[in-house]
């Protein structure tokens, strides 16, 4: 399996025709001080499964802070249906709203996706202390 797309944004939706409609992608957040709280943000993932995958698979997203310790973990499941060889591999589109996320310190936050025992990189977020004025 592999991560086809991953981002953090203001809002996203999966459309009935298999697309992800994503608005307001960002890579940085500015905070007046720490710990900082982000009221809302959305994590968007598109996962492509192996052709041999079938059934229910568990996945996990860990948000790793500057100290390489997780500050947040989200777990879920996806139902994977095999596809014929003449069609694209099975895919899962995930739109995960995250609320009231607390960032304890300034720095780089890595989103790590784990599925089928394999950890893969997701989006990276830099949380920066805003300059006064």
Domains and their CATH numbers in the chain: 2-129 (2.60.40.1930)
Does pLDDT of 20 surpass 70? Answer: yes
Whether residue 46 contacts residue 3, with contact meaning beta carbons closer than 8 Å, is answered with yes
Residue matched to tokens 């989006």: 123
- Model confidence band, residue 131 (pLDDT cutoffs 50, 70, 90): confident
**Beta bridge pairs of residue 3:** 47
Q: Which two tokens stand for residue 119?
A: 């950890």
Q: How far apart are CA 30 and CA 126, in angstroms?
A: 8
29-85 residue pLDDT tens: 999 999 999 999 999 999 999 999 999 999 999 999 998 889 999 999 999 998 999
pLDDT of residue 90: 95
Q: How far apart are CA 59 and CA 2, in angstroms?
A: 12
Does pLDDT of 122 surpass 70? Answer: yes
The count of other CB atoms within 10 Å of the CB of residue 36 is 19
Compute the mean pLDDT over every residue in the chain, rounded to the nearest whole number.
Answer: 95
Does pLDDT of 133 surpass 70? Answer: no
More confident position, 133 or 28: 28
pLDDT of residue 12: 97
Q: Between β-strands 28-31 and 70-80, what pairing exists: parallel, antiparallel or unpaired? A: unpaired
DSSP state of 68: S
94-104 residue pLDDT tens: 999 999 999 99
The count of other CB atoms within 10 Å of the CB of residue 66 is 16
Residue matched to tokens 């996320």: 101
Contacts of 56 (CB under 8 A, 6+ apart): 77, 78, 79, 80
Q: Tell me, yes or no, if the pTM score tops 0.85.
A: yes
């Amino acid at each position: 399996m592999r991560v086809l797309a991953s981002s953090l944004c203001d809002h996203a939706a999966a459309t009935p025709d298999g697309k992800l409609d994503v608005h307001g992608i960002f890579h940085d957040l500015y905070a007046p001080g720490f710990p900082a709280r982000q009221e809302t943000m959305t994590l968007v993932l598109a996962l492509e499964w192996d052709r041999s995958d079938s059934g229910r698979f568990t996945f996990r997203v860990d948000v790793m802070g500057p100290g390489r310790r997780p500050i947040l973990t989200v777990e879920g499941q996806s139902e994977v249906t095999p596809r014929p060889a003449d069609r694209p591999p099975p895919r899962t589109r995930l739109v995960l709203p995250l609320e009231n996320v607390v960032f304890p310190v300034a720095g780089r936050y890595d989103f790590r996706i784990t599925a089928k025992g394999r950890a893969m990189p997701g989006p990276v977020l830099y949380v920066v202390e805003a300059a006064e004025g």
